[in-house]
Amino acid sequence: MTVYFHSSFGLNRSHMAGILKRALENPTMKDEDLAKPFNYSAPFAARYRAWLEKTGIVESNLPLKLTPMGKVVWQYDPKLETLTTQWFMHHELTTDSTRVETWHFFIHEFLPTHKAFTRDALTQALMMRLRSHSEKHFGPGSTMTPVISRKLIECYTEPIALSAIGILSGEKNGIFRSLSPEVRGPWLTPEDMTQAYSH
């Protein structure tokens, strides 16, 4: 069960691409050195390595090693900019509940029953879902649950994250709406991914 792997660092494709490039070019480099060009300390690199792993691009731990699908992403889109890459990252984040329980819950359980919602409603739903893991960390008064709901919403509304795939829209009155995007993927083999980038 993975819930709070990101801490306060949301999905940021630019940061992820930067960490990935440095780590692949310098396999022995530690998190502290990976983070230096971003003016952050070691936790920054550790969180973005976690994002790279949760989105299916790398295996866990140092030195970073690309997954078979990650090799295709790195070959065709090392800056993690294309819609193909963003859809791949989304599928990897949301398909397996043991990889990232919160993203799986949000996409497969919460959004289908909440076409419009507030951040507070999402926070309450996450509390109900997660509190059995730890009342202290996810129950009433938790500081983690609001961060998770904020990172989920930012993931699908911020351009630096995955807003381009069109899962969610935000409105000025604090209401978020579930959209019906033109779904791409999932791609299950490196050959499938290669074809997707070729079109």
| DSSP assignments along 52-111, one per residue | HHHTTSB-SSSSP-B-HHHHHHHHH-TT--SHHHHHHHHHHHHS-TTT-HHHHHIIIIIH
Determine the Cα–Cα distance for residues 166 and 6; give it in Å rounded to an integer.
22
pLDDT in tens, 25-60: 999 999 999 999 999 999 999 999 999 999 999 998
Nearest to 73 by CA among 82, 61, 62: 82
pTM value?
0.93
The CATH classification number of 13-89 equals 1.10.10
Report pLDDT digits (tens) over 127-162: 998 888 788 777 788 888 999 999 999 999 999 999
Cα separation, 60 vs 194, in Å, equals: 23
Please state which CATH class domain 101-178 belongs to. mainly alpha
Where exactly does CATH 1.10.10 map onto the chain?
13-89, 101-178
